[in-house]
Amino acid sequence: MKKITLLMLMLFSTSFSQAQNNDVKGSKDYDLFNRMPDYNIRNYWDYQFDAHEFFISKDQNQVIEGRKIIIRFEHQNANDRNVKRPSYLQILRNYSTAIKKAGGEILFEHSNADVGYYFLKTAQGKELWVEVTAAPNIGRRYTLTIIEREPMKQDIVINAGLIKEKIQIEGKIAIYGIYFDVGKSLIKPESKESLEQIALFLKENPNINCWVVGHTDSDGSFERNSKLSLYRAKAVISYLQSNYSILLERLFAQGVGPLAPVSTNDTEEGKKLNRRVELVKK
């Protein structure tokens, strides 16, 4: 019996190794979750910081930010109609059972069992938000989306001197250190450092007045993005006035939505560059 068990383990190990050999270059399984048997990684993305929308009930959703990993699996016999593949529910239940055994919880599962949303807190205190999408291919493919929740680490450092230099040379500067929740105009706390430097620039250069221009990516309707970009520009002006006593007559809000992109809207990295606030000398 032990020999049979050992052989089965060896065969499984060989099968798993072969599956990994067929994975897309640069991909890997997520540390805490095994893949379903007989699946290869077809697509793989790992973003240092991004956001994803999770349903936590039928009528409520929540946008979570942090490191985002997307792994799209494809069955080794995806195009063979004679091969029996797992159902939507079987795929979801494998992941939901593993998450629950690890102390996690089901947030919401669609009634047709093709999408599930889950939450897990690791022993190290890390929050994991997980989406499993199994439709619409009857076991041919499924997608695992994971957010390791954490605040963004500021990479771009703006300062009053740089703002002045860019304004003098180009007449404008794009500020990437002002953050908002998806679809909202409330300024997030991690924006404080950049806003302090804008205020310092304005105080050191009292004769310069500026347009504050909001920009969005192309996701969503044009009307919605136009309004959102304007509301965000107004929020920046209000923040500068309330926290640093910058005179309102020195700043003028405008929103152009997706009309002035600086990069493509076909990639997440491009969209990040398009979502910005600009100071434009008046």
Residue range 151-176: mean pLDDT, rounded: 83
- pLDDT value at residue 282: 92
The closest of 263, 181, 271, 254 to 218, measured between CA atoms, is: 271
- pLDDT value at residue 157: 65
- pLDDT value at residue 152: 61
Query: Where along the chain do the CATH 3.30.1330.60 domains lie?
Result: 160-281
Q: 171 or 20: whose pLDDT is higher?
A: 171
| pLDDT tens digits, 75-132 | 998 888 888 899 888 999 999 999 998 889 999 988 777 899 999 988 778 899 999 9
Percent of the chain topping pLDDT 70: 89
CA distances from 255 to 116, 168, 194, 195, 232 (A): 37, 23, 20, 18, 8
Residue 272: in which H helix or E strand, if any? Answer: helix 268-274
Give Cβ neighbours of residue 65 (< 8 Å, ≥ 6 apart): 49, 50, 51, 147, 149, 150, 151, 152
Per-residue pLDDT for 271 more than 80? yes
Per-residue pLDDT for 140 more than 60? yes
CATH 3.30.1330.60 applies to domain 160-281: yes
User: Does pTM top 0.75 for this prediction?
Assistant: no
Give Cβ neighbours of residue 74 (< 8 Å, ≥ 6 apart): 39, 40, 41, 42, 140, 141
Q: 223 or 156: whose pLDDT is higher?
A: 223
DSSP string, 35-71: PPTTEEEEEEEEEEEEEEEEEEETTEEEEEEEEEEEE
- pLDDT value at residue 7: 38
Backbone φ, ψ for residue 199 (5° rounding): -60, -40
Q: Pairing between strand 251-255 and 210-215?
A: parallel
Across all residues in the chain, what is the average pLDDT?
Answer: 87
Give Cβ neighbours of residue 101 (< 8 Å, ≥ 6 apart): none
Per-residue pLDDT for 190 more than 80? yes
Alpha carbons 181 and 244: distance in angstroms, whole number: 23
Cβ atoms of 187 and 235 closer than 8 Å: yes
- pLDDT value at residue 8: 37
| pLDDT tens digits, 4-45 | 333 334 334 444 455 567 899 999 999 888 899 999 999 999
